[in-house]
Amino acid sequence: MGNGAMLVIHDVHKSFGHVGALRGVSADIDKGELISFLGPSGCGKTTLMRIICGLTKPDAGEIILEGRVINDVPPDRRGIQMCFQNYALFPHLTVTGNISYGLQVHRWRKDNIRARVEELLHLVQLGGLGDRRIDEISGGQQQRVALARALALAPKVLLLDEPLSNLDANLRVHMRATLREIQRKVNITTIFVTHDQVEAMTMSDRLVVMNQGVVEQVGSPVEIYEKPRNEFVAKFIGYVNILAGVVKDTSDASGSAVIDTELGEAEIALGGSRLSRGEKIYVIIRPEAIRLEIRKSAGPMNFFAGSIRSVMYAGSTVKYTVDVGGKDLIVDEYDPTTHGIRRMGERVVAEIPRSVHILRASSGAPAEGG
């Protein structure tokens, strides 16, 4: 990263009227990586993509490709290709016509075009469909035509704007793997835009989480999931159990602290965080890290008695809402076929793990590193 980055987005601002779509966005993208821009709709992802490929001008900030500022380079000279959300396939042309469009515009020789199209059709596994009309192929195939068309001119950077959002659930999961495979094969630097955190996590080398025109966090899927930087990232990435608490006691010897949470007292591992007594924090707990057991009463610390308020069976997991003294905890249990499914109203004791993620309440910033 840093100076070695292939594409640098530096402090980009853009507003439409009074609406600030982007408010100082920066990110570095390395050569050959697949980086996802993740955020709720309206967070400015699409606007950023349009700015990167030159269809929209930023109000301020720079786009730097291979060390060169390309703000004033027209879209067709940037070597950055965009795949539109609705594919934007030309409906009056065939599959081949679509893929070869850019090549024809750049006046490639006929036999070169034919060879290149053949190669691309093979790459996206559409061999033999070149003569089909766009409305004669399926949604997944249209998606791959759009990809082939964007790859035809061998761009330096590929932008994929919510490429899977128009596909149905099963196909979407299948296309994730296909897209990733093609991206690795061509080794093309790719920016992937999505609002689906599972999609972003499974496909990307790194993630950029955006919200309301600013970058909230950049990191690998593991970093983002295990150490969300603030409440927004934590919630967006799928955490549902966020407990407010006050540090009651810390012990450097055992590397742990006692927190007075909404549920009661819990002992947690500090794991490098430095907390001082009386500090207000948030404790963030993954649903799959909480264990449920049937006991008569709450034990020492970390064990809280409650009752099952709702049961959602999803095959490989069951999602329970556990009412602990008026506060809801979401708990995932795996393999219900083996372990059985709990009943509504059943009394349980929830065990909060010692290793959790901690956010400082005041700044919303993570508590590690001081």
Task: Give the C-alpha distances (Å, rounded to integers) separating 177 from 172, 184, 288, 301.
Answer: 9, 11, 25, 44
The distance of closest approach from Cβ of residue 127 to another protein in the complex, given in angstroms and rounded to an integer, is 22
Residue 103 to residue 255: CA distance in whole angstroms: 62
Selection from 277, 290, 279, 275 nearest residue 348 by Cα: 290
What is the Cα–Cα distance from 368 to 47, expressed in whole angstroms? Answer: 33
Q: Answer whether 368's CB lies under 8 Å from 227's CB.
A: yes
**Identity of the residue, 157 or 367, whose beta carbon is nearer to another protein in the bound complex:** 157
Q: How far is the CB of 88 from another protein (least distance, A)?
A: 4
CA atoms of 125 and 182, how far apart (whole Å): 10
Contacts of 162 (CB under 8 A, 6+ apart): 46, 85, 193, 194, 195
Q: What is the smallest separation between the CB atom of 36 and another protein, expressed in angstroms? A: 20
Q: Buried b vs exposed e over 46-59: b needs ≥16 C-beta within 10 Å?
A: bbbbbbbbbebebe
Least CB distance from residue 334 to another protein, whole Å? 38
CA nearest to 127, candidates 118, 136, 135:
118
- Give least dist CB 19 to another protein, A: 9
Interface residues with another protein (CB under 8 A)? Answer: 16, 47, 50, 53-57, 75-77, 81-82, 84-86, 88, 90-92, 101-102, 105-106, 149, 152-153, 166
Considering the complex, what minimum distance in angstroms separates the CB of residue 195 from another protein? 13
Q: How many CB atoms lie within 10 A of CB 131?
A: 10
Residue nearer to another protein on the CB measure, 149 or 342: 149
* Residue nearer to another protein on the CB measure, 136 or 249: 136
Q: What H or E segment, with its residue span, contains residue 281?
A: strand 280-285
Instruction: At 190, give phi and psi (nearest 5°).
Output: -130, 135
For the CB of residue 45, give the shortest distance to another protein in the complex, in Å.
12
Which residue, 86 or 125, is less far from another protein as judged by CB?
86
- Judge whether 62 and 11 are in contact, CB under 8 Å: yes
Q: At what angle do helices 139-151 and 110-123 cross, to 10 degrees?
A: 130
Q: Which of 81, 241 has the CB closer to another protein?
A: 81
CA neighbours closer than 13 Å in the CB half-sphere of residue 168: 3
Sorted by sequence, the CB contacts under 8 Å of residue 277 that are 6+ apart come out as: 247, 248, 249, 250
Token output for 168: 């149905």
Give the span between the Cα atoms of 298 and 132, in whole angstroms: 66
In the complex, least distance from residue 189 CB atom to another protein, rounded to whole angstroms = 16
As measured in angstroms, the least distance from the Cβ of 74 to another protein is 9
Nearer to another protein, 55 or 341 (CB): 55
The residue among 142 and 211 lying less far from another protein, judged by its C-beta, is: 142
User: Between residues 49 and 218, which has the closer beta carbon with respect to another protein?
Assistant: 49
CB-nearer residue toward another protein: 4 or 17: 17
